[in-house]
Amino acid sequence: MKILYSFQGTGNGHVARAQEIVPILKKYASVDTLISGHQSQLKAGFDVNFQYKGVSLLYNKTGGLSYRKTFTDNNFLEAIKNIQEIELSKYDLIINDYEPLTGWACALKKLPMIELSHQVSMLFKETPKPEKKDFFGELVLKYYVPSKKRIGFHFENYHPQIKKPVIRHKIRNLCPEKKGFYLVYLPSFSDENIIKILKQIPVEWKVFSKYSHLQFRESNVEIFPIDELRYLKAFENCEGILCNAGFESPAEALFMDKKLFVIPIHNQYEQECNACALDKMGISNSKVLKLEEIQAWINSNQHLKVDYPDDIEEILTKEVLTF
């Protein structure tokens, strides 16, 4: 059996999930990999056979999705050409983690594809969403990757086809402790905006920044360039995590029993849906980086026990490879 595993390179979650899934698939089949997008700070850790610039969502530095940058900095004509020209007929199965080029190519050429992503869980009516629906956001979730066969991942099993998060073994193998400091990963905010707020809260902050190439400290806020090993060490020992309302980082924080505060990226509907789901679970969240709300979270005794089993191999063998 020959498989193409295609995944999105916007954000780190898709890459982190691929790090777990691809080695398992290679036990059962011949596997090629394809990535499109250009906003991840994680390295795949395995050979990537095909790489495209694709179409990525782009952000400003004040916590929001930038429609202007998204439409001006992406080459949509090149993406359409890639969809038309990409050769997929040699594969028995395409597994797609929210990757639009192969998604649309499979739809147009009627090739066998199964979508395996967090985003696809949003298409089930049982998944929590804000009371006020975002029409454009709903369209993006539905049509960014057109698929018929779907398995989603989310914080809870809202539907039989929605599975618990894939927690990478780099996280499972950590020995969590709580050493008083707080970890911050908010790539949609500038370092200046983060420092301005957090230095007013008298705890130690370790901020991992995609904008800084140098480590520096301002008052009680320490800034680090993106470094996976250093990040994992901080993740292991922190009291809590302040991050955007993506999926993998909050899921890993819950798995590690860390206090969690999330800020959805403005105009990013998927993150607003994630924040809604986390809110129903009792997790603190805010639409902005607000001093009073973060201080209240620091003072809280937030605790939530989750059960995220290491069952991705069973899901792949019983529900994906039999497709």
Give tens-digit pLDDT for 189-201. 999 999 999 999 9
In this prediction, residues 139-150 reach a mean pLDDT of: 92
253-262 per-position pLDDT tens digit? 999 999 999 9
In this prediction, residues 130-152 reach a mean pLDDT of: 91
- In this prediction, residue 60 has a pLDDT band, given cuts at 50, 70 and 90, of low
φ and ψ of 70, to 5 deg: -60, -40
The full set of domains in the chain, from first to last, is 2-167+310-320 (3.40.50), 169-299 (3.40.50.2000)
Do 179 and 237 touch, CB atoms closer than 8 A? yes
In the DSSP assignment, the letter for residue 120 is G
How far apart are alpha carbons 125 and 280 in whole angstroms?
Answer: 16
16-42 per-position pLDDT tens digit? 999 999 999 999 999 999 999 865 556
Q: Rounded to two decimals, what is the model's pTM?
A: 0.91
Judged against a pLDDT cut of 60, whether residue 289 lies above it is answered with yes
Alpha carbon separation from 68 to 64, 74, 142, 250, 285 (Å, rounded): 11, 10, 22, 28, 27
Do 59 and 188 touch, CB atoms closer than 8 A? yes
pLDDT at 58: 66
φ and ψ of 61, to 5 deg: -105, 15
Q: Is 254 helix (H, G, I), strand (E, B) or coil?
A: helix
206-222 per-position pLDDT tens digit? 999 989 999 999 999 99
The per-residue DSSP string of 129-187 comes to --SS--HHHHHHHHHSS--SEEEEE-SS-SSTTEEPP---HHHHT------S-EEEE-T
Higher-pLDDT residue of 231 and 135 is: 231
